[in-house]
Every structure is written in C-alpha cells, then in structure tokens.
Amino acid sequence: MSKSGGNSILNYFKTIESPKNSRKRGLSPPEADLKEDERCKKTKVDLSVDKKVEKVEKVEKVERMNVRDKERDKERDNDKISYESLEKKCFWSGSVEFVHLSLKFLRGSEIRDGKGRSPEDVEYDGTTLTVPESFLANQTPAQRQWWELKSQHFDKLLFFKMGKFYECFHMDAVDVVKHCGIQFMKKDYAHCGFPEVSFHRFADILISNNFRIARIEQTETPLSMEARCKSSTKKITKFDKVIRREICQVYSIGTQITESSSRDYNYMVALIIRDSRVGICFVDTTVGVIHLGEFEDDGQELARTQLNLYHLNPVEILLDNVSVNNSKGLLKMLNSRFPGVRRSFIKSLNEFPSSKTILDTIIEKKYYNHFDSWPLVLKSYVTLGKDDTPIPSDGSDLILRAFGAVLYYLSEAMIDHGILVQGKVEKFTLIDETCPDFSTKNLILDDSSIFNLDILSKTKKCKSLFGVLDSTVTPFGNRLLKKWVCRPLFLPSDIRERQEAVMELSGKADIPENCIDDLRTSIKSLPDLERLMGIIAANGIAYPSEHPENRAVYFDGGLMSKKKIRLFINCLQGFNSAHDTLKKISKKYNFKSAILHKMMHLDYQTQEIDTILKYYDESLDNEKALKEGKILPCKGVDTQYDQIVMEKLSIENDSSNYIKQVGKDLGSRNVKFTGTGKNAFQIEIPTSSCTELPAAFEYTSRRKGFNRYVTKESKEFLDRLAKVSEKESEVLKSVSTRIFHKFSTHFDAWQKIVNTISVLDALLSLARYSFFSIDGTFPTILPTDKSKTPSLKYEKGYHPIIHQVGNGNYIPNDLDMDAPLFILTGANMGGKSTFMRQTALLAILAQIGCKVPARSMTITPIDRIFTRIGASDNILCGESTFMVELLETSKILRSMTFWSLIIVDELGRGTTTYDGMSLASSTVNYLSQTGNRVLFSTHFHRITDNFYSDKKISLYHMAFVMERENELTFLYKLAQGSCSKSHGFNTARLAGLSDDIISKGSKASAKYERKEKVVDSLLKFIGEVLNI
C-alpha cells in the first residue's frame, strides 16, 4: 500500500462532511443542505409581488435540484467497483489492500476489548474494541463518531446513516458487499452504501447469514446541531460540530419484528443450566409470545434439553458463561446438533442477571402499570414482599433468569417495550411432558428419529413425511401441521377424534366430496395473520420518551409509515375475509365430528367478532390511509383527533361568520378569504369596495380587480389554525400507534380466528392426503392396557414417502408382531432398513390421525419411537462411529417405556466382529425381557442361533432368490426364519468393483467361514466333554 494510503480515510471523512462535495458523492446529507437552508431562510418574500413569480421560482428551483441529483447519482454509480472484481485483483493476498487492514489495533495479536483484554483472556469481551485515543484525535468528527460506535459494537455491522443513505465502512463494507452483491466505492478504504428505502432488503440478507446489524440514525437536524452548539456552555471543538447519531435498533435473526418469508417460527431461546436444572425462555418476536419453562435434565448429555431444542428449531440461542463452564455437555450438544444456529452471550455479563434484578428491571422500565397487570404466567413465579414489592417465588430462580436473558437481549436490540408490553407470556409445555394416567400426551420423536425417519426434509431436494402430508394453504396452518407431524397424538380418544374429523372432511356422511377443494379455496388467499398480529401489536406500543427512535430524522419516513399501514390494512382485510369464510362454512356444512362441530358451531362466537370488525370498517378509510401514508380516523375513533377536528371546525365557523360580516359591512357579496400556508386568511375585496376601508385593514397584495388585506381578526384565525395544525401533526404521528394498540386489545378474538383456520387447514391437508391415498385405511386404535402385550400389525403396508413419490413399483409387506421383538436378517440391499422405517412411519401416520397406506392396520398407541440407524462418527464431539452407536443405544435403554417402539439397525458395526456381535447379542437379550416392540436388524447371523427357541423373539428375513452363484434377485418381502449370509459380494458387484477384487475377497471369506466352523465344532465338543 502506498504511503499516502493511511491518510486516505482521513481525506474521505473530510469529504463526506463537506457540503460542497456531498452531492457529488450522492449522499445528500443534511450537512450539505445547511447553506441552502440558511439561504432560503434569509430570503425575504415581497408580499407585493404576484404569486405567479413565486411559482416560477419554485419550479426553477425544483428543476435545478433534479438536474443536480441526476448528476450526483451518475457520478456515484461511476465510482463503484464490484466485490468480484476486487477478488480478481487478489486483494486478500495483498496486491490490493484496504486501509483497515493496516490498522495495528485491528490485528489479531494486538486487538483488545473495551477494557484492554486480549482474546486469550477468559473474560475477553468480543463485542467491544479498544480504539486508541491518539488515533481518534486525528480523525474528522464523523470519522471519530463511527469509530466510537464501532468500539462499543464490534460484533455488529454498522449501518451508518448519512443523509438519505446508509453507509458501511472498512470490514463492515467487505461483508456487506460480499453477501449483498452491491459495489464498493473506488477508494483505498472499503466503503459501500445504499438508500434509506433499501434498508430491510439488505438487512434481511445479512441477518439470514447470521450477522447482527446496528441501525444508526441521525437524531438531530443541521439547525438543531447549530442551536446545540450555540447554547453549549463549554468550549466547542470540531468534534461537537457534527450531526448527532445514535443506534436506534439492533437486528439479528432472533430479533426481527418485520414480515418474514419463513413459514417456520423464528425462536430465540435462552438457556440457563445449574447442576441438573434447566431454565428455558423463548420467543418469536414476530409473534410476540414469550414462553417460560424449567425441567430436570441429566446435566451432562442434556438429552431432554436437546429433545426440546430440536422441536423448537431455534434460530438463535442465548447462553451465559457459567452455564457453559458448569455443563460440559452443553457446547458438545450444541456443536453436534445445532452447528449452524447463532449463539449469543449477554453483553458484558458473565452470567444471566439474578431473578431479583430482573423483577426490579421490570418495575424500573414500567413494562406494566402495576403488579395486577403483570401477565398471569409471569406472576405465578413471583410473590409480594412485606412492602408489596415483587420478589421471586421459591424454585423460580432459573425461569426468571432465563426470562431476564431474553429481556436483556431484547433491550439491547431496543425492542423490549414492543414485546414485553404486549403481555403475552405462556408456560412452556415440554415435548416429553407427562400426564396423570399415561407416559406422555404425545408420541415423542427425538432428533435422531426425526432425522433417521425423514420426518422433515433434510435438504430442499429431499422428500419427507411432512412434505408428503403437507398441502396447507396458510402459513399458520402449515406451522400447526408440522407440529402435529413432529408430535403425533398418544391418547386413543384423541386419535379417534381426529380420525373422525379427517374422515368427515374426506367426503363421508353428509359432507360432499368437493368439500376439501371448496374449503381450501376459501382460505388460501389469507396472509400470515398470526405474524401480522404480533407485528401490529409491536407497532402499537409507543417508544419510551428516551428512546432514540423518537429523535430519528428520516427522509423517506412516509414510505415507512405507509408500510406499517399497509400491513395493518392487509391484516384487517385478512381477518374480515377469514371471519366471513368461517361464517359461510358454519352455515353451509353441518359438521358432526367432535372436533369440527365444537370448533365451528360451539366455540366460534361470531357476534363479538362481527362487532369488532364493524367498528374498524366504519372508523377507517383504508384507501385514503394507504394513499396519504397516515390514518385519518373517523369521528369517535380517537378522542385526541376528534378534539382537533372540533377546533378546526370552530375556526372554520368563526372565520366564515367574520367574512360574511365584513362583506355585509362593505356591501359586497364578493368578499372572501384567499391564500394558503402562511398567507392564508387574506381578505380579498373588489377594488370598487376599497375606497373607504377602516384603518384596521392592512394592504398585502393584489390581483386584477381585487386587493388583499389582513386584519387583527384574520391574523388571529391564521394563528389559531397554525397552532391547531401543529397539534394535528403531532396527534397524527401517534394516532396510528394508538389504533394499532386498540387493535391488539382484541387479541383473544383474533387468536380464535387464527386457531380455527389453522386447525381447519391442517385437517384439510390430512383429509386431502387420506382421500387420495391408494388402498388406504384408518387404523384401528386399541386401548392402552398394561396387562396386554402392545399390538402392531398391518397388511399390505407401503412406505408412505416412497409410495407417494416412487414409480409405483413398491412392494407392500405385512407385519404381525406376534412376539414383541423381531430379529431381521437378510442380504445387503434387501430392504431391511426400508421395512423398519416403513413400520415406524405407518405408526406415526396412524397416531397423527389420518389414513395409512395399508389394507388394514391395528396399533396400540406408541409413546416414543427410538431409532439407532446408520453408522457415522461425530467429529465435532470427538466421538468415533462405535461411540456414537453405543451412546444412542444407551439412551434407548435408559429412556424406553412399556409403550415404546424401538428400531435398531445393525448395532456393532464400528468395532471388531466379536465385540460387535457380543454387544448386539446382549442388547437383544436385554430388550427381549422388557416387552417392548422392537425391530432389530443385524448381519451377525450367528446371533439368531441363540434365540431360535425363545418365544419372545421372532426371526424374519428379507427374501431373495439366488439365480446363479452370488447373483441375487431381491423380492423385498418379509419371510419367516433367519438368513445365514449377507451376500455382500453381490452388492460389491452392483457397486462396480472389479471381478478380480470380488474373486479374491470371496475366496478369503470362504476361508474365514471354514475356520469359524472348525472353531465352533471344537468348542461344542469341549462343552459336551466337560458337560458345560
């Protein structure tokens, strides 16, 4: 880099603060317009000049500005360079170097946090950076401002507002250009920018790539800055003469409060672990509901934590250092199961705040008016002290601290009021929550089972059970169906009720066959009402007076306001449409199944919702609101605005009476008020009536045949109107917020619509699958009776996923678990794993409540499905293939119950033959004593010799036909008995291994088999001799 390169960034910041050059760069900052504003302010308007001259001047000024802006934008575009072109220049290797790469305090060995600690220090805070004062002292005001903000938010990308543009510098600019595809400016320093209106487009891209973004706004105007400097009592330096800028919001993947294209929940989860207790709190900020919970875990493997996290599918996880240090298994589990999920630590805190500190914060920040208004769930973890001060209840410490972590993180993002004030706090129902009479409320599928059974798509191209079932047409219906698929029912009565609802929608009884398509069409155009409710609720919470957003200066604020109003009206119209649809469905279809009848005819109260929607229909002019970017409420909607309207009406009446009296006194009917803005309420009088005017009439201007005057009364009207207009402007700024808040007070009514539509949509999806299933059946659900062996049988069953997406050649199979444990053997590629997965998937479908692709099926509900399938190591956790196998097997043996279904595929492959075979044999022996339903496949064929006579174990294999030596034809049918060989060389031939390798391998295999037979014979003889 050239010697002058180090000063280029200084020159750059001088340029951006210079009004002369800012238009050339295309920034249009307020600093650049200061002289223009002063010039316009000093210009005196000669009231005697005709209004046409004023119009001509305005038109000329606008034309000059348009030409200047076009030239500015053209020069800005010419001053860009793409990320790809810089890559071609190999700037990473040093041939092109940005200024920030030469700064000593940014180098790895020299970098220090805000307290001077190096990265090697255990207390190092990576969110801060020490920037030397000697460096800052040599910067221009804006440069110093940027570095000071960066030093406090080193972990974030700074979107630094300068006029109408957000600018990004140095390492931030490199990341923005790389991921957003915009261009660098042609400078020695990394720099890029984009207009204000493009903020969300680029922010969304970066957030999806796990960046955090700090949006920095200008929070004063040039005139305000000038006034501040003039009123200051201290000596003014160059660093004071800069527009004040403040962070107004921090964005991350877990703190978004705008529209989301994702149909999944975006949960941000806080975890706190002390010994074996786990506190959890999570929230989707686009929905606004906070969930709290606490449970016991093993403290090391954290199996329950992993299970619940997997079902929540978090986008961001909050941790504290104490939890990480005390729980050795936490990072291991997160690295293994959630490697791509963003992890965040509460800034500058070694551990989450104490529960008492959290309660004090809630009171201090006034999220709720008084204790009685606290959310009921939150109050359940709190008691009142002697002076009525809230204190933590016994045993609530971890829950409140997890809640505090979320609170602090939302506070750092500066959206805490928008979420907390909504007051939507619920208790988290754990995935493996127990109920009084049975193991669980739902069939539990852990992360291994969801992955191994293809319940959800592993990639966009992979098919899954959810993909086969899903034909939902609403985002919130889609989310509910996914929950049903991942958490099937367990109680027989619940399963039968859902079966009846699906059966009714499939065209049974009095419901016509076109019911499915008719209902789906009626709801498919609805927006994501569940998310819109949360966004509008957040928009309905006024920022605290000290929040910098109240001071932010926007140049396209009208567009932002229109966006909020568009979302509100879209939501309102969506609820109108949904409500009308539900009323029509209720009248058109006389549902008799318990779920549909209760939901559509008993629980859904139309009168209350009719009243609410009618109020908004009659109170707001939607088209006008969208056009003007502000809501002008009708009478009776907003008391403050009603008062403004009354005051304006009073001015109109008073001025009308006055001008009539003036005309009457002058004897002319052509006297009227004229003028706008500051020139309003000028009295226009025909020249013929101006001969003897009282002295109170002051001449201002004229037009042909008329003179204009002002009087004391007309000045008072102008003054009154100016004051009312100013009040109106202030009221309209907050009227949208108040209307959004009023809308959110009807949360229960809106939630009822969302819940009803989502259940209907999910049921329709199951009905559509059931209706179009070939040879499908609704399974017979047996009662759960511990005195009887759990049943699982089906006839001509198909693999649900392969059956749906295959070519129609899939061969069905039968299963009747006459003994609780099946040992399954057979040739490689013979279909063992597919058959076991098929059985598990059919059981899941049965307990979801829809048809299964089988001629018949009978099942005793399963409370948990365990799968030990596949063989791979876990490098991130330092676990070998065999270790992974044993850990999974250990979890099964510790967690299984009488109602569980266990699938073990080829246990013991990761070690020597004898070790693997011995462990597999002892595992089979143990499982056979428990009475669980077990499918156990193995290639250790000698295991079956030990269980031929065991009535608790059945031996089966996947059939095949031996055409010629080592050439097989797979039949893919389940057959009784065991298979003595795996015929691996047939698979080798299919894989394309050379004949020479196969031939030598076959000879070696035969040799090993002969040796084994000799050893077996010898051991048998010794045993007979010694009578062992």
**Structural contact between residues 127 and 181, judged by C-beta atoms closer than 8 angstroms:** no
Assign residue 460 the CATH number of its domain.
Answer: 1.10.1420.10
User: What was the pLDDT predicted at 434?
Assistant: 62
Identify the domain containing residue 966 by its residue range. Answer: 780-981
Mean pLDDT of 717-723: 91
User: What was the pLDDT predicted at 1014?
Assistant: 61
819 & 758 share domain: no
Instruction: Return the top range by mean pLDDT from 41-45, 828-832, 878-882.
Output: 828-832
In a domain, 59, yes or no: no
User: What was the pLDDT predicted at 545?
Assistant: 86
User: What was the pLDDT predicted at 1011?
Assistant: 65
**DSSP codes of every residue in 227-261:** HHHHH-SSPP-TTTSS--EEEEEEE-TTS--S--S
Range in 298-302, 356-360, 365-369, 756-760 the model is least confident about: 298-302
**Structural contact between residues 207 and 213, judged by C-beta atoms closer than 8 angstroms:** yes
Assign residue 224 the CATH number of its domain.
Answer: 3.40.1170.10
Amino acid at 680: A
972 & 877 share domain: yes
Which sign, positive or negative, has the C-alpha torsion 925, 927, 932, 935?
Answer: negative
Q: What's the pLDDT tens digit per position in 1002-1013?
A: 667 666 666 666
382 vs 875: CA distance, rounded Å = 44
In a domain, 48, yes or no: no
Domain count, the chain: 6
Is 505 in a helix, a strand, or coil? helix
In a domain, 855, yes or no: yes
User: What was the pLDDT predicted at 96?
Assistant: 54
User: What was the pLDDT predicted at 89?
Assistant: 45
Instruction: Return the top range by mean pLDDT from 26-30, 46-50, 811-815.
Output: 811-815
Single out the residue of 248, 257, 258, 253 nearest to residue 269, CA to CA: 253
615 & 663 share domain: no
Instruction: Return the top range by mean pLDDT from 114-128, 402-416, 733-747.
Output: 402-416
Residue 436 has pLDDT above 70, yes or no: no
Q: How far apart are the first and last CA of the chain?
A: 85
**DSSP codes of every residue in 556-597:** SHHHHHHHHHHHHHHHHHHHHHHHHHHHHHHHH----SHHHH
> Which H helix or E strand runs over 226?
helix 222-231
Q: What's the pLDDT tens digit per position in 186-209?
A: 777 889 999 998 999 999 999 999
Mean pLDDT of 135-144: 88
User: What was the pLDDT predicted at 349?
Assistant: 67
Assign residue 956 the CATH number of its domain.
Answer: 3.40.50.300
In a domain, 6, yes or no: no
649 & 506 share domain: no
Residue 55 has pLDDT above 70, yes or no: no
718 & 784 share domain: no
Assign residue 310 the CATH number of its domain.
Answer: 3.30.420.110
Q: What's the pLDDT tens digit per position in 549-573?
A: 988 888 776 667 778 888 899 999 9
396 & 363 share domain: yes
The token pair at 737 is 């917020």
786 & 918 share domain: yes
808 & 860 share domain: yes
Q: Output the pTM of the full model.
A: 0.81
Determine what percent of the chain is predicted with pLDDT higher than 70. 82
Mark which of 397, 427, 457 sits at the end of a domain.
427
Range in 583-587, 864-868, 877-881 the model is least confident about: 877-881
755 & 726 share domain: no
Amino acid at 526: L
In a domain, 4, yes or no: no
Whole-angstrom CA distances from 978 to 317, 628, 940, 974, 982 are: 48, 78, 11, 11, 11
Q: What's the pLDDT tens digit per position in 951-994?
A: 888 898 888 777 666 677 778 888 888 776 666 656 666 666 77
615 & 496 share domain: yes
